[in-house]
Structure 1
Amino acid sequence: MLGICSCLRSDPAAYAAYVATNRLSTCFKNFPKVQSSLRWWCQMRDRSIRETEVLIVGAGPVGLVCGVLLRTYGVECTIVEKSRSRDRRARAISLHAPTLELFSELGLLEGISGYAERLTSISLYGRNNSYVGDLTGLDSPYEGYWNVEQPIYEESLEGLYEELGGTLIRGLEVTSVLKQSAELRPPSPNCDDAPSPRRVDRVDQSTSHIHFQFIICADGVGSSTWNLLVGNNERLRKQHSGEYLLLEGVPALKSQVADTGIYIGSDGMVTRAPLTQGRVRIAGPAQPGLSRANSVADLIKAVDKMGYGQTLRLREIERSSVYRVSASIVPRPFDLSMRFCVVGDAAHTTPPAGGQGLNSGIADALSLCWRLALFLKGSSGAEVFDGITDDIQANARHAIESADISTAVRLIRENRTENDSAIRHEMSTRAIAWSQIYRGRGNPLLRRHGLKLHSGDRVPSARRIVDGQSRSMHVSALPVNRIGLTFTKLRRDTLTTDVMPSKFWPDDVAELVLRPDGVVL
C-alpha cells in the first residue's frame, strides 16, 4: 500500500519501521492527510533517495538556464527530464538581444555563432509593398535576432550546466509531489515525441525519490508536474490564436535574410524565417478546413493561396505539422509556502509572432534565480521574492500584447497609400517591442528615446559592438552584469551625463538601485 522501496527488504531497522508505519496507516485509514504524512516519512527512509537544494523539471532551454544560473550562484540543483533523448527538431529558433547578452556573459556565444542566421530587420509584406521593422541602432551589443535551432544551443547549455557540477537525469518524470519530496518514474513509452533522435543522452532510472528545498517547473502547461503544482488553479486566458501550419525544408528560391518576414494575404498570413544550411521555416495561422489530419499537399495549397509564388514554396519538405497556439497566463506562478515556481511555457503561453516565448521564459529564469540563490544561502528572507509574480506576468503580458499585429494586417489588406505611414510606425513599434531590450513600462519605442526609468524596467546594456569594436552607447555607459548577486546603487549627483543622461532619471529621484538581473528595483 505504501509502495515501500526495495532497500527495506535488506535493512532490518527500515523493515521494522515499515511494519510499524503500515500498522499506523491502517489505523488512520479514514484520515488521508495522516496517511500521506506516513507515506512521506517512509519514503524518506529509502536509502536510494537523492537530495538537492533545487529540483528543476524540464531540460529545455528555460530549465537549463535556471540550472546554469543556480550553479553559477553556487546552489546545488538537479534537472529531471522525462525524454530519454534530446529532441532534434528546430523548434524555438529566435534568440533576442537580451538572451544573446546572457549567453555572452555565460561564455556560450562562440560555440553557437557559427550556426546562427543573423537578422537585423523583420518586415511585413503586402502584395504591393513591404514595411521594414529596423532592429539596428538599439541599445544592446547584439543587434537584431540570431536564428539558432534549439538543439544547438540546448547542447551548449547542457554542457555548461554539467561542467558547473549540475546533475541531469533523463528518462524519469515526476509523478507525485508530497511536502518537499518528488516521486520519479519512467514515463510511458510514447512520451518522447521526437522523431528518430540522433544521439541518446545519459539515462538514470535508479532514482525513485528526490528530496528538495524548492522545485521549479519548466516543462510546459499540462505536464504531470504542472498539474501537480498548479492543478485546477484558474488560468487567465488573454486570447486564443487557433491552429498554425508549419513547413520546414529547402526553399524553391535561395534563402535571403531580406526575404525574412511576415507575408500578408487576403485571407491568411505566414512567417518565413531562415534556418541553418539554407533551409527555411514557413508558419502561419491555419486556413479554414485544415486540421491535424490534413496531408502535406493541403498545407502547401494553403500557403500557395497567399499568392507569393516561389517565395513561399519549398523544393524539399523535411517537416510539416499543424499545431495549436494560445495566449494565457498562470495567475499564481510562485508559491513560497509550497516551495514551487513555474516558469517559461509552464507560466504563460504566447503567440508565435516575434518569436518571444523562449526569450520571455529566459527572462523568467533571470528574475527568479538570483532571488532563490539569496534565499537559500540565507542572505535574504522571504521578502526577496516580492515582485516575482509581477515580473513573470509582466514578461508574459509584454509578449502577448506586442504579438498583436492585427492593426497592421488590416491596414495592409486595405491596400491604400495613405495607410503607409501608419503601417511603418506600427511595424517599428512591434519590432522594437519584440527585441525585449526595453522591457518594462510604457511604449518600447518611446523608451528607446529616453522614457524615464521606473521600478521593473530593464536597464539596456552599456556597450555596443560595431565591426568587432566595443563602443559606448547613447543610453548609458554603465556596465550591466546580469548574472551576479549584487545590487548596484547609482546616485544622480555623482554620475556624469555620459554615464546616465538626466533624461532617463525619474523626476525627483536622487538614487536608483539595480537588481542583480539589471532591472530597476
Structure 2
Amino acid sequence: MAQTDVLIVGAGPTGLVLALWLTRQGVCVRVVDKSSGPGEASRAMAVQARTLELYRQLDMAEAVIDAGYKTPAMNMWARGHHRARIPLVDAGREVCAYPFVLIYPQDCHERLLVQKLQSFGVDVEWQTELLAFEEGDSHVSALLKHADGREERCTAAYLAGCDGARSLIRHQIGSGFEGGTYKQLFYVADVRVTGVEPAGEAHIAFDKSDFVLLLCYGEKDQYRLIGTVRDERAEHPEHLTFTDVGHDAINGLNLQINDVNWFSTYRVHHRVTDHFRRGRAFLLGDAAHVHSPAGGQGMNTGILDAINLAWKLAAVVKGRAPDTLLDSYQIERQAFARTLVETTDKLFTFVTAQGGFADFVRTRIAPIFASVAYKSENVREYLFRVVSQTTLNYHDSPLSQGKAGEVQGGDRLPWLPGGTTDNYASLAAIQWQVHVYGEAKAELSRWCTKHGIALHVFAWAHAYEKAGVARNATYLLRPDTYVALADPEGEASTLSRYFEQHGVVLPP
C-alpha cells in the first residue's frame, strides 16, 4: 500500500500550489486528478497582487508577470457610448511592489504550475480518480482508480480536497454547502477581434440588461469575452453557440469579431462550506467556497487557502506543532470566504439586475461616479487594496496577538519602500522570522540566534512611522508572511510565551 504525507485530490491552481508549498517544505505529496491533463479553457484571468507577493516564496512571481499582461485601464461603455476610462497602472504603488492588475489565463497558469512542480520532482497523476476514503486514528486510507481500471489503496497522514465545487471529499465528510445558484447563465469565449478602441485595454459594456466584459491578455487582437445569456436559450446551454448569446452590449463596443477560438457556458454559484476541516480531511478552493467572478477573486482565494494550510500541515507532519494548529485554517479562511461571497454577490447583483431603474443606474450614474471617484488617490488605493486581497487579515485568529503602532497580529505586513532595504525581500523564505524597525534589543538578538529564527533589523526611516509601524517593536512573522505577534516592547520573553502557548517547536 502506497504511503504519503498528504494526498491532494485535484490539480487545478489550488491543488498545485498546495503541492508546491508542501514539497518546498520537505513534505511528501501525491497529486491526483481524474482529468486527462491541465485545463484547455480558462475562466479565471486575473492574478492579484497578494498572490504575486507570495509567489516570491517559490521564485515564481517574475515568471508569471513576464507571461501575463498588465492591464493599462478599464473602460466603461453604456448603450454604445464610451462613458469612462479608469487607469489601472500604479493604482497600488504605495501598497505593494506589484501595483497593477495582471491578466494571465488560468490554463496557462496551470501549465506553469505543473512545470514548476515537475522541477521539484513531483508529477501529477492524471486520469486517477478518488473513489472513496476512510479515516483512521493516524491516517487516511484512500481508494484510487487509474485510467486502466486498476484500483489502488493509498494511505496518507492528511487528505486535501481541491476537487472543485462538486467535491467528493466534501460530500463524504458530510459538510454542507450553503448558498444558491444565480439564475443567469454565463458564457466565456476566446475571440479574435478588431476595432477595439482603446486597444489593449479592458472594457465593460452595458446595454439595458445585457453586459459584457472584454479582456486583453497581451496577444495581438486576442481577447476574452465574458457575459451572460438571459432569455429562454439559457434553459438548454448544451446546445448554445456564440451566435446565440446576446450581442447588444458587444455591438455597443463597435468591434468586429473575426474568429471564435472556443466558447463555453457555465452556471455561477455563491456558497461556503460548513467545515473547511473535518478530522484529517481539508477542503480548499472551489470545494470550500464558490462565488461570482466579480473582481477576479476566485482562483486567487483558492491559492491563498493552499498557502495558509501548507505551512501548518508542514509543521504538524514534521512534529513541530500539535494537530490543533490545523484548526486555525478553518477559522482564518472561512471568515474571509463568507465576506468575499457577500461582497461579490452584491456587485454581481448590481451588474445583472433587471428593470428600468437598475439600467439607469448602471448606464448613467455608475460611469460618472466611477470616473470622478477614481480621480481620488485615496479611492484608487482603497479599491486596489480590496481587489488585490492585500487588505485580508486574520485579526480574529487564535494565532494573532498584540499590536504595535497601527500594525496588529493577523495583518499583512506593510510593504515599506521608504527605507534603504526592501523589507519584503526576507519574506521569500517560508519560515518564521522577526522584523524590527529601528533597533533590536541585545536579548532579542540572542534569543533569535539560539532558536534559529532569522532576525531582520531595518534602520529607522520616517516613512515607517507614516505607515503605522512602531519603532523598535518586534513583529513576528508566520511562514505565510502574516504578522503573528506584534510586541511594542520588543521583548524576547514575549516571543517565548507565544511559541509555548501554541506548542510550536522551533527547529534546532
Letter matched to residue 461 of structure 2:
D
Gaps of 5+ in 2: 352-357, 396-404, 441-457, 485-508
Calculate percent identity across the aligned residue pairs.
22
Aligned 8 A contact 2:83 2:367 in 1: no
Q: Which structure is higher in strand share?
A: 2
Matched-pair contact (CA < 8 Å) for 1:260–1:272: yes
Matched, 1:517 2:480: yes
- Amino acid of the residue matched to residue 459 of structure 1? L
Name stretches of at least 5 consecutive residues in structure 1 with no aligned partner: 1-48, 187-202, 443-450, 464-471
> 2:294, 2:348 within 8 Å by CA — same for their partners in 1?
no
Counterpart position of 2:141: 181
Q: Distance in 1 between matches of 2:306 and 2:313?
A: 10
Q: Which residue of 2 aligns with 1:481?
A: 427
Distance between the aligned counterparts of 2:368 and 2:225, measured in 1?
30
What SS class does the counterpart of residue 233 from structure 2 fall into? coil
In structure 1, the partner of 2:190 is 248
Q: Partners in 2 of 1:184 and 1:298 — Cα distance?
A: 41
Q: Kindly tell me: are residues 204 and 154 of structure 1, through their superposed partners in 2, closer, same or farther at Cα, counting changes over 3 Å?
A: farther
In structure 2, the CA distance between the partners of 1:508 and 1:397, relative to structure 1 (3 Å rule), is farther
Q: Structure 1 residues 366 and 507 mapped into 2: Cα distance closer, same or farther (>3 Å)?
A: same
Aligned match of 2:171:
227
Which of 459, 465, 484 is the matching residue for 2:413?
A: 459
Q: Deviations over 1:265-300 (max 9, x none)?
A: 221222111135331111123323331145435444
Check if 1:271 corresponds to 2:217.
no
Q: List per-residue Cα deviations over 1:123-153 (Å, max 9, x = no partner).
A: 4433351151635124222231322222323
CA RMSD of aligned residues (A): 3.5
Aligned residue number for residue 421 of structure 1 = 372
Q: For each residue in 1:403-457, what CA deviation from the matched residue of structure 2 results, as whole angstroms up to 9, or x when unmatched?
A: 3436975544344897463587777644441112232389xxxxxxxx9333332
Residue type matched to 2:20 in 1?
V
- Kindly indicate whether the alpha-carbon contact (under 8 Å) linking 2:58 and 2:428 is maintained by their aligned counterparts in 1: no
In the TM superposition, what is the alpha-carbon distance from 1:161 to its structure 2 partner?
A: 1.5
Whether 1:209 aligns to 2:153 is yes
* Counterpart residue number, 1:172: 128
SS at match of 2:483: coil
Aligned partners of 1:502 and 1:270: how far apart in 2? 44
Shift of 1:184: 0.8
Q: Which residue number corresponds to residue 15 of structure 1? A: none
**TM-score, normalised relative to structure 1:** 0.73
Following superposition, the deviation at residue 65 of structure 1 comes to 0.6
Deviations 1:238-271 (A, max 9, x none): 7746321222210132585653032222212221
Shift of 1:172: 1.4
Aligned to 2:322: 381
The alpha-carbon distance between structure 1 residues 342 and 432, as it changes in their structure 2 partners (threshold 3 A), is same
Match in the other structure for 1:69: 21
**Is 1:296 the counterpart of 2:258 in the alignment?**
no
The aligned amino acid for 1:433 is V
Matched, 1:285 2:231: no
Equivalent in 424, 435, 446 of residue 388 of structure 2: 435
Partner of 1:5: none
Distance 2:338 2:75 in 1: 23
- CA 1:507 to 1:148, structure 2 compared with 1: closer, same or farther past 3 Å? closer
Change (3 A) 1:477 1:238: farther
Larger Rg: 1
Task: Determine the C-alpha separation between the residues in 2 that align with 1:344 and 1:148.
Answer: 18
Aligned partner letter, 1:452: E
| Cα separation, 1, equivalents of 2:247 and 2:421 | 42
Matched ranges for 1:191-202 at <5 A: none
Distance verdict in 2 for CA 1:266–1:304, change over 3 Å? closer
Structure 1 residues 215 and 125: alpha-carbon distance in aligned structure 2, compared to 1, 3 A threshold:
same
CA-to-partner distance for each residue in 1:319-350, whole Å, 9 max, x for gaps?
Answer: 22221012211121113xx2011111111112
Deviation at 1:99, TM superposition (A): 2.0
Q: Indicate how the Cα distance of structure 1 residues 367 and 473 shifts in structure 2: closer, same or farther if over 3 A, else same.
A: farther
Q: TM-score, normalised by structure 2?
A: 0.75
Task: Find the aligned partners of 1:181 and 1:417 in 2 and give their Cα distance.
Answer: 55
Of the candidates 89, 96, 103, which is equivalent to residue 41 of structure 2? Answer: 89
Partner of 1:151: 107
Secondary structure of the residue aligned to 1:129 is strand
What is the SS of the residue equivalent to 1:213? strand
